[in-house]
A = this chain, B = another copy of it.
């Protein structure tokens, strides 16, 4: 059988799941409703009994995806641990979300451009909240003397977020290192750098 029907899930969830996978692999504009229908195991028109439009499908996936990152990171960015420990925990939490489903992360990071004006603003806002969490910890660390005082805050945050946002490109859920271990190693690299 060609269709992987996501046994036990509602048709709507099956569609969202399949769309997430295809949008991640082929991009939003590179995926047709016929592609999605084919992978679900249904005719194209049948999709519209469960979703409003192709763009609403994307909006749902992106909205939910960003929400997962925010929910995973917030408890740590707001904790009373040291900036070092907080940053490490945030990195590990981020990697856990990516590893849970790299395709979803690819959609969140790259396909939001194709949302309509309304949804795009909401996505950008939440993305800024996410960045702000990192800016906050780095700033705290610098003030506390735990992080280098000569850091360029903006560049440091973009460097860290860049390293994190690139992970769905290579991270495999089936690798031999667990997501926690990978997150820990990335946090090591970012916290202490490569120099001795």
Contacts and interface: CB of A to CB of B under 8 A. Distances in A.
Interface in A49-98: 84, 87
A129 interface: no
A48 interface: no
Contacts of A158: 166-167, 170
Nearest to A28: B30
Nearest to A166: B162
Interface stretch (A3-11, A37-45, A138-146): A138-146
Contacts of A190: 159, 189, 193-194
Given A162-B165, A165-B162, A166-B166, A155 B195 contact: no
Q: What copy number does this chain have within its complex?
A: 2
A152 B185 contact: yes
Given A156-B189, A166-B162, A186-B155, A146 B30 contact: no
Interface of A: 26-30, 84, 87, 110, 113-114, 138, 141, 145-152, 155-156, 158-167, 169-170, 182, 185-186, 188-196
A28 to B, nearest CB: 8
A194 B164 contact: no
Contacts of A196: 145-149
Contact of A147 (B87, B114, B152, B195): B195
A145 to B, nearest CB: 7
Contacts of A192: 148, 193, 195
28 contacts: A26-B113, A27-B30, A29-B29, A30-B30, A84-B195, A141-B194, A145-B196, A146-B195, A148-B194, A148-B195, A151-B188, A152-B185, A156-B185, A156-B189, A159-B186, A159-B189, A159-B190, A160-B194, A162-B165, A162-B166, A162-B167, A162-B169, A163-B163, A190-B193, A190-B194, A192-B193, A193-B193, A193-B195
